[in-house]
Amino acid sequence: MNRIIITVVGKDTVGIIARVCTYLADNGINILDISQTIVSGFFNMMMIADASGSKTTLSDLSDQLDKLGEDIGVVIKCQREEIFDSMHRI
């Protein structure tokens, strides 16, 4: 399995989850776990996904998610699970 962590942060608007999930499905990426909150109008979502079914490289995936984020007014970051874990280890 090729697990990735995707985070989405920005002002809440209609369709953020739909756009991100549609992009992932169209690229063969399976969402394993998802959590989202809205606090005082700010949207925050974190996903754990399996990218092993995708033909897109992680670099291209990250670039395309950056572009999608710009289009919908949020910041989307994507990284391999082991990198995320290393960065957030206490």
Q: What is the pTM of this model?
A: 0.87
On average, the pLDDT of the chain sits at 92
Q: Give the sign of the dihedral formed by CA 70, CA 45, CA 39, CA 18.
A: positive
Domain boundaries, the chain: 3-87
Retrieve residue 36's tokens: 């989202």
Q: Dump pLDDT digits (tens) for 31-47.
A: 999 999 999 999 999 99
CATH number of 3-87: 3.30.70.260
80 pLDDT tier (thresholds 50, 70, 90): confident
